[in-house]
Amino acid sequence: MSQSSLRVEPAPHPRGGAGRFGRGRSGLGRHAPAWLAISPSLLAILIFVYGFALWTAYVSLSASRMVPDFALVGLRNYERMWGQDRWLVAAGNLVTFTALYVVVTLAVGLLIAILLDQKVRGETPLRTIFLYPAAVSLIVTGIAWKWLLNPGTGVEAFMRSAGWEGFAFDWIIRSETVIYAIVVAAVWQQAGFVSVLFLAALRGVDGEMVKAARLDGAGPIRTYWSVIIPAIRPAFISAGVLLVAFALKTFDLVVAMTAQGPGYASALPSTFVYDMAFQRNQLGMAAAGAISILVFAAIIVLPYVVWEFRKSDAR
Amino acid sequence: MTRLSISGLRKSFGVVDVLKSVDIEVEDNGFLVLLGPSGCGKSTLLNVIAGLERATAGSIRIDDRDITDVEAKDRDIAMVFQSYALYPSMSVARNITFSMEVRGVPRAERRKAAETVAASLQIEHLLDRRPAQLSGGQRQRVAIGRALVRSPKIFLFDEPLSNLDTQLRLETRALIKRLHQRVGATSVYVTHDQSEAMTLATRIAVMAKGEVAQFGTPAEIYARPASVFVARFVGSPPMNFLAGTIVGEGAGRTLQLDGFADIAPVALEATGLPVSPGHAVTVGIRPDRIVIGEGASRDGLRLLATIDLVEETGTDVLVYLKVGGLELIARQPPEARLTPGTSVPILLPVKDLHLFDRETELRIGF
Amino acid sequence: MPADLNPSEMVAARRPATRAMLYVVLGILGLFFLAPLAVMVLTSLRPIEEIRSAGIIGIPQTLTLDAWRAAWSQACIAAVCEGLQPYFRNSLVIAIPATLLSTLLGAINGYALTKFRFPGADAIMVLIILGCFLPLQAVLIPAAQTLSALGLANSIYGLILIYTVYGLPFTTLFFRNYYVGVPSEIVRAAHMDGAGFWRIFFQIMVPISWPIAMVSVVFQFTGIWNEFLFGVSFTTGASQTVTVALNNLVNTTFGVKQYNLDMAASLIAALPVLIVYLFVGRFFVRGLTAGSIKG
Ligand SMILES: Nc1ncnc2c1ncn2[C@@H]1O[C@H](COP(=O)(O)OP(=O)(O)OP(=O)(O)O)[C@@H](O)[C@H]1O
Ligand SMILES: [Mg+2]
């Protein structure tokens, strides 16, 4: 082969062809297409996320009721809100719900993941069974569990008709326990998803470390507790933060399952906000509730995001 | 005719100066190797030449055209990456001819070009495969093909062989050398493997911390390293270093090894070095220049060493010697019969000594 | 012991008694997860009289599709008695464009922000991704006011806009995590081959993006299909989404509770996401966990 046969193309000779954006040494020019490409999204996020959140914060400090009112009233909406039993119940429920939901879901998810990680037969169908609830809406989840937990139609009725006359399972109709019934449904919906995250993390654990633990004489339970579970801590943190974010947003489940009842015993801040905004024409107070949720979310999420980005920078 | 000249080139990322004033000249058909330790700025320099990064100051010219501010695609430069950087979704043929596709060259012509290039790289049978279906060596050939098809004025290679095993590395190195001899395009090649540098280069630029520590032909760099850094970096096993002091004046100047008062100093008169009495120097000698045994009547430093360890490498023998508190490595022919633990006289011939200023670490003389 | 055991094999319960226990526990858990679906399916197939006398848990004596038929096309939601069918169509018309649009924009963002690291790119990325954690209540009121100011209140277009925008943080995050794993050298090589921003995106990035596009599409589609808060806040009457309509159907009570109808309606509303999940759930999980492990 000769040299000339390799020269299949006359080389282009752009005279001083500095390209469309190529002149400046430092200017934005070179990055213009990238800027252009993200600008619609960036603009939308700036307005719809940050702008709207600030707007809500403003409304929460204003005298708005049914229609926006721009007169500022300081923290009056917050004061009124914290003086309402409805809000206090909702806020208390949120704390109970979030704590139980996150802990139980993580525990059940981890249990499922560990069990599935034992080379079980039928892992694929089992995973399907555990995961499908995550695809189903919380409205559907709520409808199903509403009747299952209702003592007149569900588990209690079934056990009694099966001959266990004294059986009682009536969390959903009692004010003190209704929130636990909601936790049951919420765990059912998310545990499978969490187990998938954990299973992937378990399978990423360094095999040599596990071998080392075995050679050090650790049994299976010890190995899980002291070696494997600490190794998947990042998955715990990610899953935990996701679950807290879900918990703070929970709205539809309560609407479908209990409609905040009995009375408002199962209200959550999210249902409170919706009621105030669309049913009771108390925009100011609705905004105050919304901002309270946002602050709670920020307290949990911001440290996590900072941690995540530190981690990926360190690599 | 392609000459690449880089002058006063600076590149900083924010406050970090990654390149501080680089001056390099590559002649037509030249093969410049950038050699240096990890993080010294080799890839950055290559990226600036390619136009993938903007220079902070200085200029780059191809022949008489200043391309400092020209877009990468308009520089007529092709680059082969360490990770091959093949387009995963495209066939080998399309990978090779993507640049032509961008320029709107008709399909038939592209196919012909792909076949021509593939033939020269012996990858004709792979043209319709995807990168994922290739071995590392095959991928590297495709990456080279992608550069070849453009017949660029300048080829850039960023550690193209470092992901290959030893066997493939030698083969591909030879391939690159043959291609360069045939195509004859000016090339800049980054590596931190000095045997690659020595075999491929017409010029080597040894880089340290964003600066060119020495720029010259492979022979020059090996024979007259400009600094302790270069001397240590080029040559394997590395050069041995000892501390010394200049004694006496004029024609009576001698080199005295520090800590070896009982060893006869060696006369420097013949070498005509610009050194003054009391001058502290670093003395260097390459392992293959240390003579074990009496060394006949040659001039040099004569020491008594203990053989610490003997390593057979197959082609020759590495001898670890202890001299006082110092350790020296000597390379000897394989027939040398040496027993660890025994004492032997050694000779460091004066004409093979390299002298560096102890303060500045720069070569003295020449 | 073979040398290359993986961790699960190393600790896997091996004694027969332990393994039996393992399957028992898995069986019980499996029942807990399957029971609601089973009860829904069975109840939806039974006549209402039978349910009322025997409770919702039980084996059907007679099977009938009446409840399904009614839920699809006859049941009353408020005053309109057309079943879920029209709202089902609304949800499709909203979810499909919003899913595609947010996925495309997320891909562009992920590409631009990981492969063209211009000054400020990281900050913009954080700004966008933080949106994942936004409790939607915090933007509910301004969103409602903006939609009505734009004349998009109670309209399908309004919801498409809303779901696209609030999906962006997630789709951007997915593609970011995927694209950081794609060597930047590929983009540089294409650059040297003369390809520009959009050509590199469409000819080089898009063809290798289908695993993560799958994740994004499944996530967005199910999320939008199931979304309730915005749906119930911004739509009423004929423009309701199926999830909102389902809730209204269940709460529209004339006399006795129609359990079988509720269950059939719930299943109909859940069917598209269950189908999506059954067919591409595997890819979803694979793509998602690959990203989260890496990122
Ligand atoms: N985009 C960047 N921003 C900040 N610093 C950078 C950037 N790119 C490179 N550097 C820094 O510049 C220095 C030189 O990097 P470069 O990649 O050129 O080294 P190299 O000589 O090619 O090393 P290696 O042999 O490991 O490839 C390094 O210290 C690196 O951390
Ligand atoms: Mg490099």
pLDDT value at position A18? 33
Q: Is A48 exposed, middle or buried (0-12, 13-18, 19+ CB in 10 A)?
A: buried
Cα-flanking dihedrals φ and ψ of residue B22, to 5°? -105, 130
Closest alpha carbon to C263 in C33, C30, C47, C31: C47
Interface-testing mutation among A118, A233, A257, A268, with chain C (most C C-beta atoms within 10 A): A118
> Mind listing the domains of chain C with CATH numbers?
7-74 (no CATH), 86-294 (1.10.3720.10)
Please report the ipTM that was assigned to this predicted complex: 0.87
B297 lines ligand 1 (CB under 6 A): no
Which of B172, B203, B233 terminates a domain? The answer is B233
Shared-domain flag, residues B335 and B317: yes
Shared-domain flag, residues B37 and B171: yes
State the CB neighbour count (10 A cutoff) for residue A173: 17
pLDDT value at position B268? 73
Instruction: Report if residue B303 sits inside a domain.
Output: yes
Q: State the sign of the Cα–Cα–Cα–Cα dihedral A166, A169, A171, A174.
A: negative
Cα distance between residue B89 and residue B53, in whole Å: 26
Instruction: Report if residue B364 sits inside a domain.
Output: no
Chain A residues within 8 A of C112 when measuring between CB atoms: 34-35, 37-38
Shared-domain flag, residues B44 and B188: yes
Shared-domain flag, residues B226 and B80: yes
How much distance in Å is there from the Cα of B161 to the middle of ligand 2?
Answer: 12
Instruction: Report if residue B208 sits inside a domain.
Output: yes
Q: Per residue in A148-203, pLDDT tens?
A: 888 878 888 788 887 888 788 888 888 888 999 999 999 999 999 999 889 988 98
pLDDT value at position A9? 31
pLDDT value at position A22? 36
Tell me what the mean pLDDT of segment C253-281 comes to.
Answer: 86
Cα distance between residue B19 and residue B11, in whole Å: 5
Closest alpha carbon to C246 in C40, C22, C27: C40
Shared-domain flag, residues B298 and B162: no
CA B282 to centroid of chain Cα atoms: 23
What residues contact residue C199 under an 8 Å CB cut-off, 6+ apart? B102, C190
Instruction: Report if residue B362 sits inside a domain.
Output: no
Average pLDDT across each block of 10 residues of chain B; the chain has 366 residues. List them in order. Answer: 90 90 91 92 92 91 90 89 89 93 92 94 93 91 92 92 87 90 90 89 93 93 93 90 84 80 71 73 92 76 89 88 90 83 88 89 80
CATH code for the domain of B81: 3.40.50.300
pLDDT value at position A4? 32
| CATH number for region A76-314 | 1.10.3720.10
What chain B residue is nearest to C185 in terms of C-alpha separation?
Answer: B85
- B–C: how many Cβ contacts below 8 A? 61
Instruction: Report if residue B30 sits inside a domain.
Output: yes
Provide, rounded to the nearest whole percent, the portion of chain A with pLDDT above 90: 36
Q: Are B205 and B35 in contact (CB under 8 A)?
A: yes
Ranges of chain A with pLDDT below 50: 1-28, 315
Chain B residues within 8 A of C199 when measuring between CB atoms: 102
Q: State the sign of the Cα–Cα–Cα–Cα dihedral B236, B238, B240, B245.
A: positive
Chain C residues within 8 A of A68 when measuring between CB atoms: 145
| Angle B241-B355-B302 from CA coordinates, rounded to 5° | 65
Instruction: Report if residue B24 sits inside a domain.
Output: yes
State the CB neighbour count (10 A cutoff) for residue C256: 8
Q: Per residue in C202-250, pLDDT tens?
A: 999 999 998 899 989 999 999 999 999 999 998 888 889 999 999 988 8
Most confident of A305-314, C73-82, C103-112: C103-112
Shared-domain flag, residues B49 and B22: yes
The chain B residues in contact with chain A (CB within 8 A) are 54-56, 65, 69-71, 73-74, 76, 100, 103, 105, 109, 112-113, 116-117, 119-120, 148-153, 182-184
How much distance in Å is there from the Cα of B85 to the middle of ligand 1?
Answer: 18
Higher pLDDT, C16 or B243: B243
pLDDT value at position A17? 33
CATH code for the domain of B343: 2.40.50.140
Instruction: Report if residue B365 sits inside a domain.
Output: no
Q: How many domains does chain B have?
A: 2
- Answer yes or no: do B99 and C193 touch at CB < 8 A: yes
- Answer yes or no: do A139 and C246 touch at CB < 8 A: yes
Cα distance between residue C106 and residue C215, in whole Å: 12
Nearest to B116 among A8, A13, A16 (CB): A8
Shared-domain flag, residues B147 and B25: yes
Neighbouring-strand partners of residue B254: B247, B267
Closest alpha carbon to C165 in C105, C96, C213, C239: C105
Q: Are B310 and B348 in contact (CB under 8 A)?
A: no
Q: Is the pLDDT assigned to residue C64 strictly greater than 90? A: no
Which of B205, B233, B261 terminates a domain? The answer is B233
Shared-domain flag, residues B203 and B263: no
Higher pLDDT, C124 or B350: C124
Q: Per residue in C136-149, pLDDT tens?
A: 999 999 999 899 99
pLDDT value at position B295? 65
Domain limits for position B313: 240-357
Instruction: Report if residue B363 sits inside a domain.
Output: no
Question: What is the average pLDDT score of chain C?
Answer: 86
Cα-flanking dihedrals φ and ψ of residue B257, to 5°? -75, 130
- Answer yes or no: do C57 and A41 touch at CB < 8 A: no
- Answer yes or no: do A249 and C25 touch at CB < 8 A: no
